[in-house]
Amino acid sequence: MSIAQVQEEFVVAFDVLVLGGGPAAISFVKTMGSTKNTAVIRPEDHSMIYCAMPYAIEGLLPMGKTFKKDELVTDTGAVLVRDTVTKVDLNARVVETAGGTQYGYERLVIATGARPVMPPLPGADLAGVYTFKTEDEMRAIQSVVDAGIEKAVVVGAGPIGVELAQAFNAKGIETHIVDIAARILPNILDAELVDDPQEQLAEHGIRLHLGHGVSSLRGESFVEDVVLSDGSVIRFGDDVDCEVEACPGKQRGIVVFSVGVRPNTELFAGTSLSLDKQGIVINDRFETSVPGVYAIGDCASFKSGITGETLPGKLATNAVPMGKILGRIFTGKPASYAGFYNGSATKVGAWFVGGTGFTEEQAKARFPVKVGHADLTTTFPIMPMARRIRLKLVMNAETGLLVGGQVVSGEPVADKVDQLTMAIQYGISVEKLVDFSYASQPYQSYYPADNLIVHAARDALR
Ligand SMILES: Cc1cc2nc3c(=O)[nH]c(=O)nc-3n(C[C@H](O)[C@H](O)[C@H](O)COP(=O)(O)OP(=O)(O)OC[C@H]3O[C@@H](n4cnc5c(N)ncnc54)[C@H](O)[C@@H]3O)c2cc1C
């Protein structure tokens, strides 16, 4: 039977069927526009603005503000289906959903994303232990915060963990961060740049347990103790008025794991789709090993734009360009994906932090490295609002090319991180950055005599 004959038997067949409703899928359909007979299948009531979720827990914005509007998809003319795909037949080009419907397609775009890893620790199944990605998890965490828990342990000191810990702390909850790494934000900042933000967390009362993992969780029904690999224990029961036995069923604390993600690819196990540890294997046009099947975003295994290695890079800022480029490809434009750079930013207390490409530590594992630093002010230093800003460049000493950068500042840094990503992405050498032509104004930069990127470039070449 031909594909067309098989598909005739199904209720609906689409030219383009998209699995997933995250940033990759939305960027794809928006870029492609209404030129195709397209459907998007996603299980959630709402597509989420994940990046804003910690700030909803903090109470800075109502939870509803973290929901994206369905019109982002439906205004393109695409059909939005609320369901979960449970089976795929890549030969017949049909998928089946939990709701029992079968959908045929000409081309399938897989954008099923990734989910947080929950390590298989003793006690990980106790009540009060969470990961943090879905609307349901956000609501559950919000409700225990509102119920007045006294302690929170966030496992993982990456940006999501640090943002969530600050949210708990701002709610008056005694907050602990645990990470096996020796410092916070280890994939963004090298050791010499981390002191200001890390000290600020401690100043705000957040207790840091760095250099130790969690080895187990203990409790009866709710989690009561978090046991660390050095043998120390964070107890939830100590500071409350009742003994554990006297108050069965009382939740005193919360543990949230934010220790990385795993691609959602189980659906394709046993199919002819090539998978590796990072997800669905794709080429630079997002084509998978199966003709007519494409993968974008966190579910795809994609390459670093710097070295061409397959590396983890599960960020919205990587997923969105993938969706946009595939959208252009589907409208017949010549486009291909050069890889990801991992430009990212976060906020720690009053410090804005960002990084792109490789840290010095990561780069040194690959090639000889030189680094340059700048330590200036966000405005002319004579201005009353001047704040410290530090920038670091990481250079491949063999090629002279920029491979990474980091910024810690009293003012937002995303634009600086983007300038560095642009230099990395378009192969601008550090030597060229020395002559970078910049702007200067008392409110907005250091004196005309110097510039952060130029200063750090000169330092790297000294
Ligand atoms: C709390 C938090 C904060 C973050 N902050 C940032 C940030 O500041 N900056 C940044 O760049 N990134 C951030 N990220 C990461 C970013 O959200 C992800 O990289 C991004 O969402 C990946 O997009 P995606 O579309 O590939 O996958 P996802 O957003 O994971 O979307 C996948 C979609 O596929 C659906 N799906 C899965 N399986 C099926 C199935 N079988 N059938 C149908 N649909 C299915 C899912 O339900 C979902 O709709 C954050 C993540 C979290 C959790």
CB neighbours (10 Å) of residue 212?
16
Tell me, yes or no, whether 120 lies in a domain.
no
Closest approach atom of ligand 1 to CA 41: 43
Q: Which of 215, 240, 259 is the last residue of a domain?
A: 259
Looking at the DSSP bridge assignments, the partners of residue 109 are 18, 294
Mark whether 220 and 293 lie in a shared domain.
no
Q: Which of 216, 231, 259 is the last residue of a domain?
A: 259
Tell me, yes or no, whether 121 lies in a domain.
no
**For 384-417, what is each residue's pLDDT tens digit?**
999 999 999 999 999 999 999 999 999 999 999 9
Residue 163 beta carbon below 6 angstroms from any ligand 1 atom: no
Ligand 1 centroid distance, CA of 39 (Å): 18
Burial of 309 (0-12, 13-18, 19+ CB in 10 A): exposed
Q: Are 112 and 296 in contact (CB under 8 A)?
A: no
Q: What is the pLDDT of residue 12?
A: 82
Tell me, yes or no, whether 396 lies in a domain.
yes
Domain count, the chain: 3
What average pLDDT does range 141-156 have in this prediction? 94
Mark whether 191 and 244 lie in a shared domain.
yes
Mark whether 136 and 166 lie in a shared domain.
yes
112 HSE (CA, 13 A, CB side): 20
Tell me, yes or no, whether 344 lies in a domain.
no
Q: Is the pLDDT of residue 2 over 50?
A: no
Q: What is the pLDDT of residue 8?
A: 53
**For 56-80, what is each residue's pLDDT tens digit?**
999 999 999 999 999 999 999 999 9
Residue 19 beta carbon below 6 angstroms from any ligand 1 atom: yes
**What CATH number does residue 416 fall under?**
3.30.390.30
CB neighbours (10 Å) of residue 111?
31
Closest approach atom of ligand 1 to CA 42: 44
Average pLDDT, whole number, for the chain? 94
**What CATH number does residue 201 fall under?**
3.50.50.60
Mark whether 137 and 206 lie in a shared domain.
yes
Q: What is the pLDDT of residue 128?
A: 95
What average pLDDT does range 129-145 have in this prediction? 96
Q: Is pLDDT larger for residue 11 or for residue 237? A: 237
Mark whether 154 and 214 lie in a shared domain.
yes
Residue 42 beta carbon below 6 angstroms from any ligand 1 atom: yes
Q: What is the pLDDT of residue 313?
A: 85
23 DSSP 8-state letter? H
Q: What is the pLDDT of residue 312?
A: 87
The whole-angstrom separation of Cα 346 and Cα 50 is: 13
Closest approach atom of ligand 1 to CA 267: 41
Mark whether 153 and 63 lie in a shared domain.
no
Q: Is the pLDDT of residue 7 over 70?
A: no
Q: What is the pLDDT of residue 243?
A: 47
Which of 32, 119, 110, 26 lies closest to 72, judged by CA?
26
Mark whether 229 and 313 lie in a shared domain.
no
Ligand 1 centroid distance, CA of 340 (Å): 16
Mark whether 62 and 147 lie in a shared domain.
no
Mapped onto helix, strand or coil, the DSSP state of residue 97 is strand
Q: What is the pLDDT of residue 201?
A: 96
Mark whether 234 and 303 lie in a shared domain.
no
- 36: confidence class by pLDDT, cuts 50, 70, 90: confident
Ligand 1 centroid distance, CA of 92 (Å): 28
Q: What is the pLDDT of residue 424?
A: 98
Q: Are 11 and 102 in contact (CB under 8 A)?
A: yes
Residue 133 beta carbon below 6 angstroms from any ligand 1 atom: yes
Q: Structure pTM?
A: 0.94
- 205: confidence class by pLDDT, cuts 50, 70, 90: very high
Q: What is the pLDDT of residue 35?
A: 72
Mark whether 235 and 135 lie in a shared domain.
yes
Which of 264, 262, 263, 271 lies closest to 87, judged by CA?
271
Which of 307, 273, 278 lies closest to 291, judged by CA?
273
Minimum mean pLDDT among 8-12, 217-221, 335-339: which range? 8-12
Tell me, yes or no, whether 319 lies in a domain.
yes
Mark whether 365 and 299 lie in a shared domain.
no
What average pLDDT does range 340-361 have in this prediction? 97
**For 237-263, what is each residue's pLDDT tens digit?**
754 454 444 444 578 899 999 999 999
* Token reading at 105: 């397609």
Tell me, yes or no, whether 388 lies in a domain.
yes
Ligand 1 centroid distance, CA of 47 (Å): 9
Q: What angle do CA 326, 2, 32 make, to 5 degrees?
A: 15
Q: Which of 259, 283, 303 is the last residue of a domain?
A: 259
Mapped onto helix, strand or coil, the DSSP state of residue 93 is coil
273 is in which domain, residue-wise? 3-114+262-330
What average pLDDT does range 148-168 have in this prediction? 97
Residue 372 beta carbon below 6 angstroms from any ligand 1 atom: no
Ligand 1 centroid distance, CA of 319 (Å): 9
Mapped onto helix, strand or coil, the DSSP state of residue 16 is strand
Tell me, yes or no, whether 31 lies in a domain.
yes
Mark whether 177 and 234 lie in a shared domain.
yes
- Looking at the chain, the whole-number percentage of residues with pLDDT higher than 70 is 95
Residue 315 beta carbon below 6 angstroms from any ligand 1 atom: yes
Tell me, yes or no, whether 345 lies in a domain.
no
Ligand 1 pocket: which of 166, 315, 317, 418 to mutate (most atoms within 8 A of CB) = 315
What average pLDDT does range 340-358 have in this prediction? 97
Closest approach atom of ligand 1 to CA 23: 25
